[in-house]
Chains A and B, each alone.
Chain A
Amino acid sequence: MEKTLDLKFNYTEKKDTRSGFGDGFLEAGRRNPNVVGLCADLIGSLKMGAFQKEFPERFFQTGIAEANMMGIAAGMTINGKIPFTGTFANFSTGRVYDQIRQSIAYSGKNVKICASHAGLTLGEDGATHQILEDVGMMKMLPHMTVINPCDYNQTKAATIAIADYEGPVYLRFGRPSWPIFTDPAQKFEIGKAWKMIEGTDVTIFATGHLVWEAVVAEAILRSEGISAEVINIHTIKPLDEEAILDSVAKTGCAVTAEEHQYNGGLGDSVAQTLARNNPAPMEYVGVNDSFGESGTPTQLLDKYGLDAANIVAAAKKVLARK
């Protein structure tokens, strides 16, 4: 379907966002000697090996002990280190929520919690590892910044940017090979939404892998005479409320798209913003209160209603409510 569409963004290569993290992490380490790394027995999966090889004195294997890893990271910040922790999103959040809450967020520590294999697109490993609640858990914590970039280039840029930002950050990325459609030279601004495609009928607010699905959905909608605006919300907290309200003031309705539960995700953040300022019709594209299962990423996005076709359907539904 993508090939016959007139897409506003195109790609020639696919790559996993975790590789964007790994390459960005190495670059951050080269730029700042205070950047250190910790990993709970997933160096290969997190693509942290290049950093470990170049800076062995600044890299710490913690073994399969994520709670301890979060505490060690918090302790390392005290004399100015900038620790990046690496494990799967599931073990970066729910497993260690209290450690993050007390030792990192409440203590205001400059830890970068880097979480791979988030969402359904982890695929065949199934629901034990497909966390769909992590954004909600992390954004509820005071002081925490939550970032979910959309492709390899944006993930690399975000990884470099968070090293220069003072404060705890949750950086979420994934495993599947995914289109690279953003500029490799992009400047990543934390908290600043990116209007990728201008439109007038409906706004699609998307984050993570689903930004690509939103780009495809826009082309489909355009081919049917519907003008959709696509906004890339890479930073879910702090949320760029101004960008959201400006866009919805123009289009009058919104669709949110994310690889996360309805509860607690980007959709809830946008809904809260709209409800308080401009209660416009809105539809969610996400997982509606269920766990995932084994399957290929494409099969899972289809079965759970997270692909471009579902964004198109949600856009039509919300347009009818205007």
Chain B
Amino acid sequence: MEKQTIEQLESTASQVRRDILRMVHAVQSGHPGASLGCTEFFVALYFNQLNHDPNFKMEGKGEDLFFLSNGHISPVWYSVLSRSGYFSPEEMDTFRKLNSRLQGHPATEEGLPGIRIASGSLGQGLSVAIGAAQAKKIDGDDSTVFVLMGDGEQEEGQVWEAAMYAAHWKVDNLIATIDLNRQQIDGPTAEIMDLIDLRAKYESFGWEVIDTLQGNDMKSVVEGLEKAKSLSGKGKPVMNLLHTEMGFGVDFMVGTHKWHGIAPSDEQLANALGQLPETIGDF
């Protein structure tokens, strides 16, 4: 796939945001907040960074792999997968409905192209990505494995088992990103369970850590991923702390946990879509 320019990526992101909102609205269910907040990251990854083949093969030999650990933000992933050719955009119309391959949380059971593991129960994706990265090392495959986690998800103990393991085994073909939006279901992370200093935590666990301070600015996100890539292959796993705003792109959804898991009404959808140009064509 040809790499999109920053301008093209921004245009794609607008369509992806429309897809997210229309999917969640259609079934009145799903998680729009962090999906919107991570749109730049997903678009940058799939349309500019990943070496990947939409003619999906589970084993992905010679390809970069991506794992989504915080599976509830499935709408943004489904949109990006379909818009990059893994399946038809029309299938987004089945999101969360009976007999769909687009399950509420990503799954392999129905065989949706692009998904390599089920996720949703939090804390598991980092381990899975490390395993996939180590298997690539065994095979002499020098491509990179990417994984995204939520910040609230850092409260799960398994994440830290995995963090310790990745440094010990020098899994340096792994780039993890944390969506640092500082929100979780019950409120701000600082009130629910303070993450304090994730950079210091990961550094002390033996990781190379970078911050992408403007996680909703396409150029910054691309530059952050490129910097992360330049730091990989040097004996340490790489952590990209992606500072985002939940609900970014829609003025009444931005910066609050209130849109973590609720759908917009008809009027709210119309209002939101008015803020987001239809650039590729709605499904």
Contact = CB atoms under 8 A, between A and B. Distances in A.
A67 B132 contact: no
Contact of B61 (A36, A79, A108): A79
B127 A76 contact: no
B257 interface: no
Interface string B146-171: 00000000000110011011001100
A62 interface: yes
A271 interface: no
B173 interface: no
B254 interface: no
B157 A78 contact: no
A299 interface: no
Contacts of B158: 65, 67-68, 71, 99
Given A70-B127, A99-B124, A102-B124, A79 B164 contact: no
Contacts of B126: 71
Interface in A109-125: 109
B61, B129, B161 interface centre (most CB from chain A within 10 Å): B161
B129 to A, nearest CB: 6
B119 A72 contact: no
Contacts of A62: 165
A77 B164 CA distance: 21
Contacts, number: 115
A103 B161 contact: no
A70 B67 CA distance: 16
Nearest to A75: B131
A78 B65 contact: yes
Contacts of A98: 121, 124
B196 interface: no
A57 B109 contact: no
A60 B127 contact: no
B65 A103 contact: no
A219 to B, nearest CB: 48
B124 A72 contact: no
A79 B127 CA distance: 15
Interface in A62-110: 62-63, 65, 67-81, 83, 98-99, 101-103, 106-109
Nearest to B125: A71
Interface residues on A, range: 20 to 34
A195 interface: no
A126 B138 CA distance: 40
B18 interface: no
A66 to B, nearest CB: 9
A106 B118 contact: yes
A83 B131 CA distance: 10
B59, B134, B135, B136 interface centre (most CB from chain A within 10 Å): B135
Contacts of B169: 60
Interface in B66-94: 67
Interface in B91-128: 107-109, 116-121, 123-128
A111 B130 CA distance: 15
A58 interface: yes
19 contacts: A65-B158, A67-B124, A71-B126, A71-B131, A72-B128, A72-B130, A74-B128, A75-B117, A76-B131, A76-B134, A76-B135, A78-B116, A78-B117, A78-B135, A83-B131, A102-B119, A102-B120, A103-B124, A103-B127
Interface of B: 58-61, 65, 67, 107-109, 116-121, 123-136, 138-139, 141, 157-158, 161-162, 164-165, 168-169
